[in-house]
Amino acid sequence: MSAHASAHAAPLVVKLGGRALETPEALRELAADLAALAPVVLVHGGGAEVSAWSEKLGFAPRFSNGRRVTDAGTLEVATAVLAGLSNKRLVARLREAGVDAVGLAALDGGIADIVPHAETAALGAVGEIRSIDASLLRALLESGRVPVLASIGSHAGELLNVNADDLAGALAAALRARALVLLSDVPGVKLSGAFAARLDRDAIAAALESADVSGGMGPKLAAAALALDHGVASAHIGAWGGPGSLRAVLDRRAGTTLAAADSSTLSLTTAQPHA
Protein backbone atom coordinates (compact mmCIF):
# COMPACT_ATOMS: atom_id res chain seq x y z
CA MET A 1 0.00 0.00 0.00
CA SER A 2 1.43 3.41 -0.93
CA ALA A 3 1.83 6.23 1.55
CA HIS A 4 -0.79 8.27 -0.33
CA ALA A 5 -3.25 5.40 -0.46
CA SER A 6 -3.00 4.84 3.29
CA ALA A 7 -2.77 8.51 4.32
CA HIS A 8 -6.25 8.57 5.83
CA ALA A 9 -5.61 5.49 7.99
CA ALA A 10 -4.72 5.92 11.65
CA PRO A 11 -0.97 6.50 11.80
CA LEU A 12 1.65 4.46 13.57
CA VAL A 13 3.73 6.53 16.02
CA VAL A 14 7.32 5.32 16.37
CA LYS A 15 9.92 6.69 18.75
CA LEU A 16 13.49 5.93 17.68
CA GLY A 17 16.47 5.73 19.98
CA GLY A 18 19.75 3.91 20.44
CA ARG A 19 21.20 1.81 17.65
CA ALA A 20 18.28 2.55 15.31
CA LEU A 21 19.80 6.03 14.94
CA GLU A 22 23.49 5.19 14.80
CA THR A 23 24.39 4.10 11.27
CA PRO A 24 23.26 4.78 7.70
CA GLU A 25 22.76 1.04 7.25
CA ALA A 26 20.36 0.84 10.19
CA LEU A 27 18.37 3.77 8.86
CA ARG A 28 18.13 2.28 5.37
CA GLU A 29 16.84 -0.95 6.91
CA LEU A 30 14.44 1.00 9.10
CA ALA A 31 13.21 2.98 6.09
CA ALA A 32 12.18 -0.25 4.38
CA ASP A 33 10.18 -1.26 7.47
CA LEU A 34 8.54 2.16 7.63
CA ALA A 35 7.56 2.22 3.97
CA ALA A 36 5.49 -0.92 4.51
CA LEU A 37 3.74 0.55 7.55
CA ALA A 38 2.70 4.03 6.33
CA PRO A 39 1.30 6.34 7.53
CA VAL A 40 3.91 6.89 10.24
CA VAL A 41 4.94 9.71 12.58
CA LEU A 42 8.49 9.46 13.93
CA VAL A 43 9.81 10.93 17.15
CA HIS A 44 13.54 10.61 17.70
CA GLY A 45 15.83 10.67 20.66
CA GLY A 46 19.53 11.37 20.53
CA GLY A 47 20.43 11.36 24.18
CA ALA A 48 23.79 9.67 23.70
CA GLU A 49 24.83 12.34 21.22
CA VAL A 50 23.58 15.12 23.51
CA SER A 51 25.62 13.64 26.36
CA ALA A 52 28.72 13.29 24.17
CA TRP A 53 28.53 16.92 23.01
CA SER A 54 27.79 18.11 26.54
CA GLU A 55 30.93 16.39 27.81
CA LYS A 56 33.00 17.90 24.99
CA LEU A 57 31.78 21.34 26.03
CA GLY A 58 32.28 20.76 29.75
CA PHE A 59 28.71 20.02 30.85
CA ALA A 60 28.41 16.83 32.90
CA PRO A 61 25.24 14.94 31.88
CA ARG A 62 22.81 14.46 34.78
CA PHE A 63 19.49 12.66 35.01
CA SER A 64 16.57 12.51 37.42
CA ASN A 65 13.94 9.77 37.15
CA GLY A 66 14.95 9.04 33.58
CA ARG A 67 14.80 12.67 32.44
CA ARG A 68 17.77 14.87 31.57
CA VAL A 69 18.58 17.66 34.00
CA THR A 70 18.81 20.66 31.67
CA ASP A 71 20.69 23.76 32.73
CA ALA A 72 21.20 26.70 30.36
CA GLY A 73 24.28 25.23 28.69
CA THR A 74 22.77 21.78 28.32
CA LEU A 75 19.63 23.30 26.80
CA GLU A 76 21.70 24.93 24.05
CA VAL A 77 23.47 21.63 23.36
CA ALA A 78 20.22 19.64 23.37
CA THR A 79 18.56 22.08 20.98
CA ALA A 80 21.53 22.17 18.60
CA VAL A 81 21.88 18.39 18.56
CA LEU A 82 18.24 17.24 18.63
CA ALA A 83 16.51 19.90 16.50
CA GLY A 84 19.61 20.40 14.36
CA LEU A 85 22.21 17.73 13.72
CA SER A 86 20.28 14.63 14.81
CA ASN A 87 16.98 15.61 13.17
CA LYS A 88 18.47 16.71 9.86
CA ARG A 89 20.81 13.73 9.64
CA LEU A 90 17.85 11.41 10.22
CA VAL A 91 15.71 13.21 7.62
CA ALA A 92 18.55 13.14 5.07
CA ARG A 93 19.14 9.42 5.50
CA LEU A 94 15.45 8.54 5.41
CA ARG A 95 14.93 10.63 2.27
CA GLU A 96 17.91 8.98 0.60
CA ALA A 97 16.25 5.64 1.38
CA GLY A 98 12.99 6.71 -0.26
CA VAL A 99 10.98 7.95 2.76
CA ASP A 100 9.47 11.42 2.18
CA ALA A 101 10.55 12.69 5.60
CA VAL A 102 9.92 16.23 6.91
CA GLY A 103 11.94 17.38 9.93
CA LEU A 104 10.23 19.32 12.71
CA ALA A 105 10.55 20.07 16.40
CA ALA A 106 7.71 19.84 18.92
CA LEU A 107 7.37 23.64 18.96
CA ASP A 108 7.02 24.03 15.18
CA GLY A 109 3.53 25.06 14.08
CA GLY A 110 2.39 24.84 17.70
CA ILE A 111 2.35 21.04 17.56
CA ALA A 112 2.94 20.70 21.30
CA ASP A 113 1.72 23.15 23.95
CA ILE A 114 4.50 22.92 26.54
CA VAL A 115 4.62 24.16 30.12
CA PRO A 116 7.51 24.01 32.59
CA HIS A 117 7.77 20.59 34.19
CA ALA A 118 6.29 20.12 37.65
CA GLU A 119 9.79 19.14 38.79
CA THR A 120 11.46 22.24 37.34
CA ALA A 121 13.41 22.80 40.54
CA ALA A 122 15.20 19.49 39.98
CA LEU A 123 15.13 19.26 36.18
CA GLY A 124 15.79 22.81 35.04
CA ALA A 125 14.67 23.88 31.55
CA VAL A 126 12.48 20.83 30.95
CA GLY A 127 8.90 20.94 29.78
CA GLU A 128 5.87 18.72 29.95
CA ILE A 129 3.11 18.52 27.38
CA ARG A 130 -0.21 20.18 28.16
CA SER A 131 -1.86 19.48 24.80
CA ILE A 132 -1.19 18.54 21.18
CA ASP A 133 -2.45 20.29 18.04
CA ALA A 134 -2.22 17.53 15.44
CA SER A 135 -3.49 19.56 12.46
CA LEU A 136 -0.06 20.14 10.88
CA LEU A 137 0.88 16.49 11.30
CA ARG A 138 -2.41 15.35 9.77
CA ALA A 139 -1.83 17.62 6.77
CA LEU A 140 1.63 16.17 6.25
CA LEU A 141 0.34 12.62 6.60
CA GLU A 142 -2.46 13.29 4.12
CA SER A 143 0.12 14.47 1.60
CA GLY A 144 2.02 11.19 1.99
CA ARG A 145 4.90 12.59 4.05
CA VAL A 146 6.51 11.25 7.23
CA PRO A 147 6.86 13.85 10.01
CA VAL A 148 10.10 13.43 11.98
CA LEU A 149 9.98 15.25 15.31
CA ALA A 150 12.70 16.35 17.69
CA SER A 151 11.63 16.80 21.30
CA ILE A 152 12.35 20.53 21.69
CA GLY A 153 9.44 22.73 22.76
CA SER A 154 8.89 26.26 24.02
CA HIS A 155 6.91 28.18 26.59
CA ALA A 156 6.50 31.95 26.79
CA GLY A 157 9.12 32.37 24.08
CA GLU A 158 11.75 30.27 25.83
CA LEU A 159 13.03 26.88 24.69
CA LEU A 160 12.43 23.78 26.81
CA ASN A 161 13.79 20.26 26.53
CA VAL A 162 11.06 17.59 26.40
CA ASN A 163 11.47 13.86 26.99
CA ALA A 164 11.07 12.12 23.62
CA ASP A 165 9.05 9.25 25.10
CA ASP A 166 6.64 11.77 26.64
CA LEU A 167 6.25 13.44 23.25
CA ALA A 168 5.65 10.14 21.44
CA GLY A 169 2.98 9.08 23.94
CA ALA A 170 1.19 12.42 23.69
CA LEU A 171 1.27 12.35 19.89
CA ALA A 172 -0.08 8.80 19.79
CA ALA A 173 -2.92 9.85 22.09
CA ALA A 174 -3.81 12.96 20.08
CA LEU A 175 -3.61 11.20 16.71
CA ARG A 176 -5.56 8.15 17.95
CA ALA A 177 -2.67 6.14 16.55
CA ARG A 178 -3.17 2.53 15.59
CA ALA A 179 -0.17 1.71 17.80
CA LEU A 180 2.76 3.30 19.64
CA VAL A 181 6.21 1.74 19.28
CA LEU A 182 9.12 2.78 21.49
CA LEU A 183 12.33 1.44 19.93
CA SER A 184 15.65 1.63 21.75
CA ASP A 185 18.44 -0.75 22.78
CA VAL A 186 16.28 -2.34 25.49
CA PRO A 187 14.50 -5.53 24.32
CA GLY A 188 11.48 -5.02 26.56
CA VAL A 189 10.27 -4.41 30.10
CA LYS A 190 12.22 -6.50 32.59
CA LEU A 191 10.38 -7.49 35.77
CA SER A 192 11.55 -9.99 38.38
CA GLY A 193 14.53 -10.90 36.23
CA ALA A 194 12.57 -11.74 33.05
CA PHE A 195 11.37 -9.76 30.07
CA ALA A 196 7.60 -9.42 30.13
CA ALA A 197 5.98 -10.39 26.84
CA ARG A 198 2.66 -8.69 27.71
CA LEU A 199 1.38 -6.23 30.31
CA ASP A 200 -2.11 -4.84 30.81
CA ARG A 201 -2.90 -1.35 32.09
CA ASP A 202 -2.98 -2.41 35.76
CA ALA A 203 0.34 -4.18 35.37
CA ILE A 204 1.87 -1.01 33.90
CA ALA A 205 0.78 0.94 36.98
CA ALA A 206 2.29 -1.71 39.23
CA ALA A 207 5.51 -1.77 37.22
CA LEU A 208 5.88 2.00 37.55
CA GLU A 209 5.88 1.53 41.33
CA SER A 210 8.32 -1.38 41.13
CA ALA A 211 12.01 -1.23 41.98
CA ASP A 212 12.59 -3.16 38.74
CA VAL A 213 11.74 -0.05 36.72
CA SER A 214 14.35 2.68 36.75
CA GLY A 215 16.06 5.19 34.47
CA GLY A 216 14.57 5.63 31.02
CA MET A 217 12.06 2.78 31.34
CA GLY A 218 9.81 4.88 33.59
CA PRO A 219 9.05 7.50 30.91
CA LYS A 220 8.49 4.73 28.35
CA LEU A 221 5.88 3.03 30.52
CA ALA A 222 4.24 6.37 31.31
CA ALA A 223 4.07 7.17 27.59
CA ALA A 224 2.48 3.79 26.88
CA ALA A 225 -0.07 4.31 29.66
CA LEU A 226 -1.03 7.75 28.29
CA ALA A 227 -1.55 6.36 24.80
CA LEU A 228 -3.65 3.45 26.05
CA ASP A 229 -5.76 5.75 28.21
CA HIS A 230 -6.64 7.77 25.10
CA GLY A 231 -7.80 4.91 22.93
CA VAL A 232 -4.62 3.62 21.32
CA ALA A 233 -5.09 -0.13 21.02
CA SER A 234 -1.55 -1.17 21.91
CA ALA A 235 1.90 0.10 22.75
CA HIS A 236 5.15 -1.79 22.23
CA ILE A 237 8.60 -1.49 23.80
CA GLY A 238 11.45 -3.23 22.04
CA ALA A 239 14.90 -3.04 20.50
CA TRP A 240 16.12 -2.42 17.00
CA GLY A 241 17.95 -5.52 15.81
CA GLY A 242 18.04 -5.20 12.04
CA PRO A 243 15.57 -5.66 9.18
CA GLY A 244 12.14 -6.76 10.33
CA SER A 245 12.61 -5.57 13.92
CA LEU A 246 9.75 -3.09 13.79
CA ARG A 247 7.35 -5.64 12.31
CA ALA A 248 8.43 -8.26 14.86
CA VAL A 249 7.65 -5.89 17.74
CA LEU A 250 4.27 -4.97 16.25
CA ASP A 251 3.44 -8.63 15.65
CA ARG A 252 4.27 -9.43 19.29
CA ARG A 253 7.15 -11.72 18.31
CA ALA A 254 9.63 -9.51 20.17
CA GLY A 255 9.61 -6.90 22.90
CA THR A 256 6.85 -6.15 25.38
CA THR A 257 3.27 -5.49 24.24
CA LEU A 258 1.13 -3.24 26.43
CA ALA A 259 -2.66 -3.20 26.06
CA ALA A 260 -5.46 -1.50 27.98
CA ALA A 261 -7.34 -4.61 29.11
CA ASP A 262 -7.07 -8.19 27.93
CA SER A 263 -6.95 -11.28 30.10
CA SER A 264 -4.26 -12.69 27.82
CA THR A 265 -1.92 -9.81 28.70
CA LEU A 266 -1.51 -10.84 32.31
CA SER A 267 1.21 -13.36 31.52
CA LEU A 268 4.78 -12.39 32.29
CA THR A 269 6.30 -15.06 30.10
CA THR A 270 9.81 -14.31 28.91
CA ALA A 271 10.05 -12.55 25.56
CA GLN A 272 13.02 -13.42 23.39
CA PRO A 273 14.99 -10.36 22.18
CA HIS A 274 14.80 -10.02 18.39
CA ALA A 275 18.11 -11.02 16.84
Catalytic residues: 15, 18, 47, 165, 220
Bridge partners for 15 per DSSP:
43, 182
Q: Which of 60, 168, 209 is nearest to 68 (CA)?
A: 60
Q: How many whole angstroms separate alpha carbon 14 and alpha carbon 164?
A: 11
For 259, the 3-state DSSP assignment is strand
For residue 206, give every residue at least 6 positions away whose Cβ sits within 8 Å of its Cβ, in sequence order, or none.
none
Bridge partners for 148 per DSSP:
42, 103
Bridge partners for 12 per DSSP:
40, 179
Q: How many whole angstroms separate alpha carbon 33 and alpha carbon 146?
A: 13
Q: How many whole angstroms separate alpha carbon 132 and alpha carbon 124?
A: 22
Helices (H), 150-231: 164-175, 201-208, 217-229
For 112, the 3-state DSSP assignment is strand
What is the DSSP code string of 8-73? TSPPEEEEE-GGGGT-HHHHHHHHHHHHTT-SEEEEE--HHHHHHHHHHTT----EETTEE-B-HH
Q: How many residues does this entry show for the chain?
A: 275
